[in-house]
Amino acid sequence: MSGASYAVGSARSNGWWGMVVFVLGETTLFLMLFATYFYLRLQSHHWPPPGIDKPPVLTPVLLTAALASTSIPMQAAWTRARHGNRVAAWWLLAAAAIVQVGYLIWQVHDFVLDVHREPPSHSAYASIRSTTLAIDHAHVLLGVLLTAWMVVRLATRLTPYRLRGLQATTFYWHAVNAITIAVLFVVDLSPHL
């Protein structure tokens, strides 16, 4: 383990700024999905349509809470890595990756069941619900791949370049977790209101 400290200073790297712009673009995409969801809801007399059960609450809430909690080890990993503590950062990343993968597997399993039960072509409700969830899961998948890549890279050594990658990955996860909480409120909780 290296005791060297990689001080990044107050200036952000271009990689971090690039991630900020990417996240802004993705946030716009989700805002448009939310706007579409509520537009369709306002046009409907029944939401969900008759014959379709309201979405479950407990499982999505618990899963989202578990995913959101990974922001803590991700941030801690970045802090440890910044101070040169590669091994601690690696373990924190690995712990976060396990929860993130577990979340994704469970959610994709539920998503496939949902789509088979109520195909998107059957109603506007099923269409916007499955589209929003699929895009959110795709963002989680991208985050899982980024975390896995950082786990692989930090297994050997820590460099300023990899540190900046971890910084951008951590920021991405904070954003994805916030977006996933918003998706939970819109897609799973709002039909109960």
Partner 1 sequence: MTRFRLELLQWYALFAGPLMWATQHALEFGWTNAHCSTPVAAWNVPAIWLNVLITAVCGSAVVAAEVAAFVVYRETANVGEYAPGPYGRMKFFAQAALLGNVLFIVIVALDATGAFYHGCGQA
Among 17, 38, 39, 185, binds partner 1 (CB under 8 A): 17
Whichever of 18 and 119 has its CB closer to partner 1, that residue is 18
Whichever of 88 and 124 has its CB closer to partner 1, that residue is 124
From the CB of 13, what's the least distance to partner 1, in Å?
6
Q: Closest Cα partner for 54 from 114, 95, 8?
A: 114
Whichever of 21 and 42 has its CB closer to partner 1, that residue is 21
Q: Is residue 43 at the binding interface for partner 1, with CB under 8 A as the rule?
A: no
From the CB of 5, what's the least distance to partner 1, in Å?
16
In this chain, which stretch among 9-17, 64-72, 109-117, 169-177 interacts with partner 1, using CB under 8 A?
A: 9-17
Among 11, 42, 58, 193, binds partner 1 (CB under 8 A): 11
Among 1, 2, 7, 14, binds partner 1 (CB under 8 A): 14
Whichever of 22 and 111 has its CB closer to partner 1, that residue is 22
In this chain, which stretch among 7-15, 98-106, 147-155, 170-178 interacts with partner 1, using CB under 8 A?
A: 7-15
DSSP the chain: ---------SSPPHHHHHHHHHHHHHHHHHHHHHHHHHHHHHH-SSSSPTT-PPPPSHHHHHHHHHHHHTHHHHHHHHHHHHTT-HHHHHHHHHHHHHHHHHHHHHHHHHHHHHHHHS-GGG-HHHHHHHHHHHHHHHHHHHHHHHHHHHHHHHTT---HHHHHHHHHHHHHHHHHHHHHHHHIIIIIIGGG-
Which residues of the chain form contacts with partner 1 (CB under 8 A)? 9, 11-14, 17-18, 21, 28
